[in-house]
Amino acid sequence: MAATDFKDYYSLLGVSKTASPDEIKQAFRKLARKFHPDVNPGNKQAEARFKEVNEAYEVLSDPDKRKKYDQFGQYWKQVGEGFPGGGAGVDMNGFDFSQYGSFDEFINELLGRFGGAPGGPRAAGRQNYSYRTSTGRPNGFGGGFNDFGFQDFGAGAGASQDAEATITLTFAEAFAGVQKRFSLGNETIDVRIPPGAKPGSRLRVRGKGQINPMTQQRGDLYLKVEFQPHSFFQIEGDNLVCEVPITPDEATLGASIDVPTPDGSVNVKLPAGVRSGQSLRLRGKGWPLPKGGRGDQMVKVAIAPPKDLSPEEREYYEKIRAIRTYNPRSHLQQVKL
């Protein structure tokens, strides 16, 4: 880990390492107002400074986070001084900081952002979070959603801190509903996903967003739903869509075939002369609706000619070709540019 990875939050706020919570808060408020983006429109340096100050306060204002940050600082210092083994084995009250590849990975997890490098330490099973704030203007600050990706604490009592996460569900979980467990920093929450969630929909979990250090008010957590691909089903609106292969003789003569549905296999009658690409509707077999009931399941048929024919099958197909009177391309004779 490079020595430049570590950020000295005490220096950023201009306080000592023994500063009291009130001293830290007072220093933060002064700097937050000075570098707030609304006070410095278009000033990228002020934006970056505001972000650093905000991050520093979020860590140092929380006793548990401050303790872990101080322990990490000791670990980083020993690594920088060439501690044997690159820091592995440094005893920090039973906490292993060597699992983090960088200071950013440590801070992202400490703040519940989980935005470290893909596949990095402690990344498995975590969700990626992006943050935004919705503010009023009691102090002349704020102005809608914050595009900087960090907290907007200049808005005073009207500020809230919402968090967003992506949750990936299987078709079965989304169809029937499921309870999922999330790790938000040091907090673990259980979230109940109701039946019928759809890709792209957003679920609101009240009071589980980020905490505004100025007001101690907590925003909401918004979960954006994504689906794992299914080998057979797709979802379009309130309907399930699937494709079922049929043989040429089934398409010509009609047939009864079994089709999978969320409720199990059902028997479907194919009309004689059904075309490849034609869809059959299974009413009430689709996706759960918010007000009860179900959408439909659309069964698209695809004529699948056999690849390997037995001698007898080939003989009969050749006989059919010899006596066939139907020409599906007869209308193409009149086609011209």
Q: List phi, psi (to 5°) of 20.
A: -80, 165
For the chain, what are the domain ranges? 1-124, 127-229, 234-334
CATH of 234-334 among 3.40.50.720, 2.30.40.10, 3.30.200.20, 2.60.260.20? 2.60.260.20
Report yes or no: 276 and 302 within 8 Å, Cβ to Cβ.
Answer: yes
The dotted CATH code for 127-229 is 2.60.260.20
In the block, tokens 């704030």 appear at 133
pLDDT for the residue 148: 24
The dotted CATH code for 1-124 is 1.10.287.110
Give the closest residue to 122 by CA, choosing from 82, 92, 95.
Answer: 95
pLDDT in tens, 104-113: 777 777 776 5
Report yes or no: 158 and 135 within 8 Å, Cβ to Cβ.
Answer: yes
Quote the distance between the C-alpha of residue 296 and its chain's center. 27
Q: What would the DSSP string read from start to end of 254-321? A: -EEEEEEETTEEEEEEEPTTPPTT-EEEETT-SPBPTTSSB--EEEEEEE---SS--HHHHHHHHHHH
Q: What is the DSSP letter of 334?
A: G
The Cβ-side half-sphere exposure at 199, using a 13 Å CA radius, reads 13
In the block, tokens 């194919």 appear at 270
Contacting residues for 254 by C-beta, under 8 A, at least 6 apart: 269, 270, 271, 272, 273, 274
Residue 16 in tokens? 């000592």
What would you report as the CA-atom Rg of the chain, rounded to the nearest whole angstrom? Answer: 31
Distance CA 133, CA 149 (A): 9
Distance CA 145, CA 46 (A): 18
1-124 and 127-229 share one CATH topology? no
Residue 40 vs residues 14, 201, 248: alpha-carbon distances, Å: 21, 36, 71
Distance CA 105, CA 118 (A): 10
Q: What is the pLDDT along the chain (337 residues), one digit of tens a residue?
A: 444 477 899 999 999 999 999 999 999 989 988 988 778 888 889 888 888 888 899 889 988 888 888 887 777 666 555 444 444 444 445 556 666 667 777 777 777 654 333 333 333 333 333 333 333 333 333 332 222 222 333 333 334 478 888 889 999 999 999 998 877 767 788 888 999 999 988 888 888 887 776 677 788 888 899 999 999 999 998 999 999 999 999 999 999 999 999 999 999 999 999 999 999 999 999 999 988 899 999 999 999 999 899 999 999 999 999 999 999 999 998 899 9
Residue 237 vs residues 106, 196, 199, 201: alpha-carbon distances, Å: 41, 11, 10, 12
Report yes or no: 133 and 162 within 8 Å, Cβ to Cβ.
Answer: yes
